Amino acid sequence: MNKKILILTAPILVMLAGCAGNPGSGAAKNCENGLSAAYKELNFSKSKGFGGSVEYTKAASLLTAAKVQFEFGKYPNCINKVNRARAFIRKSQK
């Protein structure tokens, strides 16, 4: 019975292992650099009094989600969220 479980779960484990991205890849670095820049922009926006805007809140939520994506190796998703967050940050300052 244990062999059957192993045979059935082995392909799933292999697929899950393949889902995590390469932390040394260009996408990982882009995600990490984007997160760093976006958090600086977000803090600057807050210091200028834009912390209560709807766009600021959306940006903060997206950056939190992007950080989770980064931790799970989902770098393209992270980059997408960072870019969207940075657009909201720019919009919040207008």
Question: What pLDDT, on a 0 to 100 scale, did the predictor assign at position 57?
Answer: 92
Domains of the chain: total:
1
Instruction: Provide long-range contacts, Cβ within 8 A and 24+ apart, for 81-86.
Output: 82/31, 82/34, 82/35, 82/38, 83/34, 85/38, 85/42, 85/58, 85/59, 85/60, 86/34, 86/37, 86/38, 86/41, 86/59
Asked whether residue 3 is assigned to any structural domain, the reply reads: no
Question: What pLDDT, on a 0 to 100 scale, did the predictor assign at position 4?
Answer: 55
> How large is the average pLDDT for residues 52-73?
94
Asked whether residue 14 is assigned to any structural domain, the reply reads: no
pLDDT above 50 for 7: yes
- Name the residue range of residue 28's domain: 22-92
Q: Which is higher by pLDDT, 6 or 3? A: 3
> How large is the average pLDDT for residues 32-49?
93
> How large is the average pLDDT for residues 4-18?
46
